[in-house]
Structure 1
Amino acid sequence: MAMTYAVRLESVGKVYGSGRTAVHALNDVTMALPRGSFTAVMGPSGSGKSTFLHCASGLDRSTSGRVWLGETELSRLKEEELTVLRRERVGFVFQAYNLLDALTAEQNVSLPFRLADRPVPIERVRAALKAVGLADQYDRHPAQLSGGQRQRIAIARALIHEPDAVFADEPTGALDSRTGRQILELLRRLVDDLGQTVLMVTHDPVAASYADKVVFLADGRLAGELRAPSPERVADRMTRLGEW
């Protein structure tokens, strides 16, 4: 059976500014993420990790090259179409959770439907909360929950539309090591059990070891990859990239 891809980038470049002050954040990046895969992106500070995630997910437009989500080429979309695509076909998980304190867990998870002015499928929302281990916390507000529980709500919200891919930017950065490990195990299960596609930016070799593959960036360019990564092999590669 032919391999299908959730995300593809072809010769993608991103430049901020112009002339002498231009900053080339990404240079000629080509990559494809198979459906049902878990990919980590690592690199020294300023290597272009977040820019890569933003361009791959449609949060930002690349300056050159092409990006596909499934069979949809993002550069061909108008801004309004891109907004709908991000809301309905992309899941986002950030370090800061990005939850609304005035809403319950259930209301935060259902927010994409509310923003689209569509009926909220409560059973689907409850199922998403159950999938992240929070079935009994649906009526709690973020302030009543731990950091790990808040991140689980954010993951449930990211999954609610069964997206083409989930993009996670330092999802364990604000958590202690034990809680962070639980979140990483959850992301791993989403891939193994639900066939979800996850792309995670991280600076942590332990976090990266949960992925199928680690892709390294340096100075906005691809600088190799590591399959079946261990924390030690990831740390060694990062050392050679000049991170530590």
Structure 2
Amino acid sequence: MGRGKIEIKRIENSTSRQVTFSKRRGGLLKKAHELAVLCDAQVALIIFSNTGKLFEYASTSMKEILDRYRKYPDGIQTGRVMEYDNDVMVQHWSREVMRMKQQIERSYQTQRHMMGEDLGLLPLKELQHLEQQLDTGLNRVRARKDQVLREQIDSLRIKELQWHEENEILRRKIAGAHGMTEVAVRSFSSQNIVNPLETREPPSIGQVSVPFSLHVNQKNLRENQNLQTSLQLG
């Protein structure tokens, strides 16, 4: 003899109601799992008992399934055939197009207000708010401009130090190549040092070798002659 048909209505006895809830909850969770495995479907099941206790099941991630559900177009979430009607889809996308147009128009209007245009219909409160926004934006622009200027100045200072170091290296190379005295090298450096902020290239050894070499040799010769004369007189 088969089981009789059970009338679906609220169970008045609290103990029987709790037992039935536990049994049917387990069966429902089992069926949800079977549906997900057999049909490769994304299944999410949320149950709250009459005492407020939460029971849930998700075939993948509950958050991902709920996010997908929220992003689904309005009017076709329950899976009924009538909700797949083209008219429903047309209405949905028509509302989306209208919403985007309104958002674009508000953006254009805000841009015109920021440029000081179409201000005739704005009340005093909105004008004050717009003024605060402009002041805030202007302060940010000035702060960014000052930061860029400081960065450029720091970069120029670094380049200046690099040019000074290169001039010092060049000065020592010239001194070593021509046997110059330290006094002569300093005199030459003060007359021929390159401004680090100029774009011209520093003088090469070939450009200063001939005249400077003759000048230094003649000076050294005169110093040697004066030294010999002093020794003879002494």
TM-score range, shorter chain: under 0.3
Give me the TM-score of the superposition, normalised by structure 1.
Answer: 0.18
Give me the TM-score of the superposition, normalised by structure 2.
Answer: 0.18
When Rg is computed on C-alpha atoms for both structures, the one with the higher figure is 2
Q: Which structure's residues are more often helix, by fraction? A: 2
